[in-house]
Amino acid sequence: MITAKRMFQFRSAGGGAEIFNGGQLEGMERAAGTQEGEEGGEGKMRIEGLQAWYGKAEIIKGISLSVVKKKVTAIIGPSGCGKSTFIRCLNRMHEVVPKAYVAGKVFLDGVDIYDKKADPVRIRSRVGMVFQRPNPFPTMSIRENVLAGLRLNGTKVSRPNELVEQVLEQAALWGEVKDILNRSGASLSGGQQQRLCIARALALKPEILLMDEPCSALDPIATSRIEELIHSIGKICTIIIVTHNMQQAARVSHHTAFFYMGELVEHNDTDILFTKPSNQRTEDYITGRFG
C-alpha cells in the first residue's frame, strides 16, 4: 500500500517537476472529506445507483457518489471506463444519443433531474458543459459566441456588453480579445477557443460546470491557463472534470473518483486517494501498472 511518506513526482503544466509527499499535499488547500466526499462541504449533487446504456451495452454500472458544492471533483480512469458517459448523464445529455438510456437517480439540490416534471433544457442551463475539443461557432463572432447559449434558450439580456465583458474576464480572455470582439471565434488559438467556450458556458450562470478532458487537445502553456481558470471558477461554481492526466487531477481537484470498467472503485479527498488509496486497483492505476 502507498503510504503518506512515499514521494510522488508530478510534472507541472509549465514543464517543471514538482515533488510532493503526503504532508505537503495535505497543505495544498484540499477540502477535508470522507470516503463519500461530503464532510467539510455542502453536497450540491448526489448520484444514486446510476446506470447508463448504449443499446444493450451497459457503460455505467450502478455508480453512487456525492459532489461537494463549490469544489472541484476529478474523474480519473483508463480509456473506455465510462468517465465521459458518466458526466453526460449529470445534465441529461446522454439521453439525446439514439438508443441511449439511463437508470438511477441524480439529485441536484435534492431534486432528481430525471423526474418526469424536470425540464432538460433548464437542467442543462444549471449544469453546463465544456467539451474535449474547443467548439466555438465558426460563423459567429467572439461576442456572439459568448451570447449564443442565452439566445438559444430564449433568454433576454438587458446589458449584453457588460455580460460579455464579465464572463470573458472570468474566463481570463477579456484582455486578449477586447479589441477584436467582432472577429470569428474560430480565428482564435486552440487555448483561446477553449476559454471562449468556457465563457459561453459561464454566461448561462451554471451552478455546476462539467469539463470533459478540456486540456487534451492543448499545449502545456494553454493547459496551464485552463488549470488556473479552474481554480478561479471553482470559487463560484462546482466543477466536475474528467481527465486522463493524474498530475492534473492532483493539481486542480479537491476530490477524486477512480472509475474502472464502468464502476466506481474509489472516491476520496485527492491527497488521500493519491497517497493512501484504499483499493489495490487504485494503487495499481496511479502507479502505472495498468491503464
Contact 210, 90 (CB under 8 A): yes
| Mean pLDDT calculated for residue range 243-251 | 95
Measured distance CA(96)–CA(56) in Å, rounded: 16
pLDDT at 289 over 50: yes
Domains, the chain, ranges and CATH?
69-81+121-286 (3.40.50.300)
Provide, rounded to the nearest whole percent, the portion of the chain with pLDDT above 70. 86
Measured distance CA(3)–CA(23) in Å, rounded: 11
38 confidence band (pLDDT: 50, 70, 90): very low
Mean pLDDT (the chain, rounded):
87
Measured distance CA(87)–CA(101) in Å, rounded: 14
pLDDT at 30 over 90: no
Q: Which residues contact 280 (CB under 8 A, 6 or more apart)?
A: none
User: Using alpha carbons only, what angle is made at residue 214 by residues 173 and 159, rounded to the nearest 5 degrees?
Assistant: 35
71 confidence band (pLDDT: 50, 70, 90): very high
Q: Which residue has the higher pLDDT, 267 or 2?
A: 267
pLDDT at 27 over 60: no
Specify the pairing of strand 72-76 against strand 255-260.
parallel
Q: Which residue has the cell 439511463?
A: 102
Contact 90, 129 (CB under 8 A): no
Instruction: List, in sequence order, every residue forming a beta bridge with 111; answer none if it has no partner.
Output: 108
Cβ atoms < 10 Å from Cβ of 155: 13
128 CB-side CA count, 13 A: 21
**Structure confidence at residue 5 (pLDDT):** 32
Q: How many helices (H) and strands (E) does the chain have?
A: 11, 12
Alpha helices in 158-263 (DSSP H): 160-170, 174-177, 190-202, 220-233, 246-252
**Structure confidence at residue 16 (pLDDT):** 37
Angle formed by the axes of helices 190-202 and 220-233, nearest 10°: 20
**Structure confidence at residue 152 (pLDDT):** 86
pLDDT at 44 over 90: yes
156 confidence band (pLDDT: 50, 70, 90): confident
Burial class (CB within 10 angstroms; exposed 0-12, middle 13-18, buried 19+) of 72: buried
Lowest mean pLDDT among 40-49, 141-150, 184-193, 217-226: 40-49
Lowest mean pLDDT among 44-48, 60-64, 156-160, 204-208: 156-160
Give this prediction's pTM. Answer: 0.84
Say which DSSP state 147 is in.
H
291 confidence band (pLDDT: 50, 70, 90): low
| Mean pLDDT calculated for residue range 61-67 | 97
